Amino acid sequence: MAKSEFIPVIGLEVHAQLLTRSKAFCGCPTNYGADPNRHTCPVCLGLPGVLPVLNREMVDMALRLALALGAQVRPVSQFARKNYFYPDLPKGYQISQFDRPLAEGGAVEFDCDGAALRVGLLRLHLEEDAGKSFHDGGHSLVDFNRCGVPLVEIVSEPEIESPAQARAYLTELRRLLQYLEVCSGNMEEGALRCDANVSLRDPATGRMGTPTEMKNMNSFRGVQRALEYEIERQSEVLRSGGAVVRQTLLWDEAAGEARPMRRKELAHDYRYFPEPDLVLLEVDPAWMAGARDRLPELPRARERRFQEQYGIQQQQAQTLCADRALADYYEVAAAASGNPVLAANVILAEVQRWLKDHDTGIGRYPVDPERLGGLLQLLDRGTLSTPLAREVLQEMLAGVETAEQIVARRGLAVMGDEAVLGSLVRQVVEANPEEVARYRAGKRQLFGFFMGELMKATRGKGDPVKLRELLQKALEG
Ligand code: ADP
Ligand code: MG
Ligand code: ZN
């Protein structure tokens, strides 16, 4: 792809479904995957004469998000009707917020390619989701289960400068939503959706370009690809002397291209007006303070604490904190093991590998963090060598025994007798004269080869610390 001479200007609108038990304005359940049209009632179907009742849990969740993002919460906000006609919107309008949103300002702070970035927010508002249409074989079907599911919309300033930054912004926002336990973050299920606005600025004149809006991306990678595509397309248009048309485009992931969907609608197209069936939403200081108290430690703060408290590397802290459950697991295992650095190393290698192989999350890992901590203690003390610890872990994965029980039952305690180990070291050195010569000539990596031979000779039971010492002496001598 040719490098664009223009500077991309990107703003994201993110819709997140809030994990409330019931819908925004009625008592219908919100869980995903029910049979079509089961979770409906006269309110969310918009039948005549019904009245909406605001879900307090919805406001509370959005409030926590606003506070975590450093946004200013309005003491009084207002719901508004956004009018449009579509088969999945039975009322003919969506209850949303317009000129008095729940919160404004704040920012998403995130890292991208090693740089710490901060993208400001325009607004954060509450609204209800629409239903879902299915088009197939000349028929269209509609499922109203999603109708009235609570959403929070987070609208960024146009301050994102590349598709990679857009992806990093979304990754951080999703992590925050998950830490706060207000959204599942599942893009495939549509629990998190993103519209991307992009325009190109001409660096020579400083002039801002006309933005287009893209919809229908269902992964972070999709958002990045769609933006790359659209930046290239707009660049072509501008290079050939044309003008970008303000429009909404639909991203087609399979084709890897975006297609025009409609002329971009503007605010006046929606004939917004204050929702007459709901009173103003007042968030008093006590509610705010309560919501603030219920904020968990936020992921970026947790990353910093992990590095300071446990002495692990930044990259390790980032990987552990990418998932709140994994970070929780790590903290328990670190405490139980007595060696937080060892715990990080083992979790990021052995445990992560298992999770990847089984395509699952830490919640499904068969060894709980206390039990893993017990194994790590034995490893840390030198009771088990690394290969032996791996073997014990395999047994732990298959059963419920602790590491100590397995070691006792199988008589796996380490071989620590210096005379026995010393003679094994001599045997291995004598059996490999060429390697010894190369080692002495400077090929220090061969140390690992000798250790490997010794572990084979001791069937993984040799005390690694003692073996290392003896081997060093024998090779140097
Ligand atoms: P609308 O209501 O028409 O969708 P908004 O002003 O609410 O427009 O902005 C929607 C999104 O578009 C925001 O995320 C904003 O950052 C982004 N945006 C606004 N202007 C531009 C622009 N020139 N280029 C790219 N994105 C833009
Ligand atoms: Mg928009
Ligand atoms: Zn309902």
Residues 304 and 339 in one domain: yes
pLDDT for residue 422 = 85
Output the pLDDT for position 6.
93
Tens digit of each residue's pLDDT (9 = 90 or more) over 77-130: 999 999 999 999 999 999 999 999 999 999 999 999 989 999 999 999 999 999
Using the structure block, give the residue that is written with the tokens 């609108």: 13
What CA–CA distance (Å, rounded) separates 296 from 299? 9
Nearest-atom number in ligand 1 for the CA of 267 is: 2
- pLDDT digits 0-9 by tens, 232-280: 999 999 999 999 999 999 999 999 999 998 776 676 789 999 999 999 9
Q: How far is the CA of 211 from the centre of ligand 1 (A)?
A: 7
pLDDT of residue 267: 67
**Could you tell me if 115 and 319 are in contact, meaning their C-beta atoms sit under 8 angstroms apart?**
no
Q: Tell me, yes or no, whether 100 and 145 share the same domain.
A: yes
258: three-class secondary structure by DSSP: strand
Q: Which of 74-83, 141-150, 180-189, 417-426 has the lowest mean pLDDT?
A: 417-426
Note whether 273 and 187 are same-domain residues.
yes
| Protein residue whose Cα sits closest to atom 4 of ligand 1 | 266
* Residue whose CA lies nearest to ligand 1 atom number 19: 158
Q: Looking at the 3D structure of the chain, how many domains does it have?
A: 3
Residue 443 confidence (pLDDT): 92
- Say which amino acid occupies 194: C
- Co-location of 278 and 301 in the same domain: no
Task: Count Cβ neighbours within 10 Å for each residue of 31-52 and write b for 16 or more, e otherwise.
Answer: eeeeeeeebbeebbbbeeebeb
Strand boundaries in 202-256, DSSP class E: 212-217, 247-252
Are 238 and 377 in the same domain? no
> Does the pLDDT at position 421 exceed 90?
no
Residue indicated by tokens 């495939």? 188
Q: Which helix (H) or strand (E) holds 123?
A: strand 115-128
Report the pLDDT value the prediction gives residue 476, as an integer from 0 to 100. Answer: 86
CA distance 5 to 270: 36
Is the domain of 45 the same as that of 82? yes
Containing 16, the helix (H) or strand (E) segment is strand 7-17
Residue 21: what residue type? R
Beta strand 7-17 pairing with 192-201 = antiparallel
Best mutation site among 170, 197, 234, 245 for ligand 1 pocket (most ligand atoms within 8 Å of CB): 197
Q: What is the pTM of this model?
A: 0.85
Q: List residues bridging with 201 in a β-sheet.
A: 7
Last residue of a domain, one of 227, 260, 290: 290
Q: Is the same domain home to 178 and 219?
A: yes
Q: Residue 217: what are its φ and ψ, rounded to 5°?
A: -85, 135
Assign residue 445 the CATH number of its domain.
Answer: 1.10.10.410
Within this chain, do residues 372 and 441 fall inside the same structural domain, yes or no?
no
Rounded Cα distance between 30 and 18, Å, is 9
Q: Could you tell me the residue range of the domain that residue 342 belongs to? A: 297-410
Question: Is 315 found in the same domain as 283?
Answer: no
Ligand with an atom nearest the CA of residue 150? 3
What is the rounded average pLDDT of the residues 368-383?
93
Long-range contacts of 226-229, Cβ-Cβ distance < 8 Å, separation of 24 or more: 226/196, 226/251, 226/258, 227/8, 227/10, 227/163, 227/166, 227/196, 227/198, 228/1, 228/163, 229/256, 229/257, 229/258
From the CA of 210, give the closest atom in ligand 1. Answer: 23
Considering the domain architecture, whether residues 430 and 470 belong to the same structural domain is answered as yes
Placement of tokens 């572990």 in the chain: 455
Beta-carbon contacts of 282 under 8 Å, excluding residues fewer than 6 positions away, are 75, 76
* Ligand 1, atom nearest to 209 Cα: 23
Ligand 1 centroid–CA 11 distance in Å is: 6
Confidence of residue 1 (pLDDT cuts 50, 70, 90): very low
More confident residue, 325 or 416: 325
Q: Of 460, 347, 352, 344, nearest to 410 (Cα)?
A: 460
Domain boundary residue, one of 290, 310, 342: 290
Residues 106 and 180 in one domain: yes
| Between 454 and 367, residue with greater pLDDT | 367
pLDDT, tens digit (0-9, with 9 covering 90-100), for 309-320: 999 999 999 999
The residue from 249, 267, 290 where one domain ends is: 290
Q: What is the DSSP string of 377-418?
A: HHHHHTSS-HHHHHHHHHHHHHSS--HHHHHHHHT---B--H
Residue 413 has pLDDT above 80, yes or no: no
CA of residue 70 to ligand 3 center, whole Å: 33
Ligand 1 shell residues, CB under 6 Å: 9-13, 122, 155-158, 197-199, 208, 211, 267
Average confidence (pLDDT) over 324-348: 97
Give the chain's mean pLDDT. Answer: 94
Q: Is residue 373 domain-shared with residue 355, that is, in the same domain?
A: yes
**Residue ID of nearest Cα to ligand 1 atom 24:** 199
Residue 2: pLDDT band with limits 50, 70, 90: very low
Residue 147 predicted with pLDDT over 60: yes
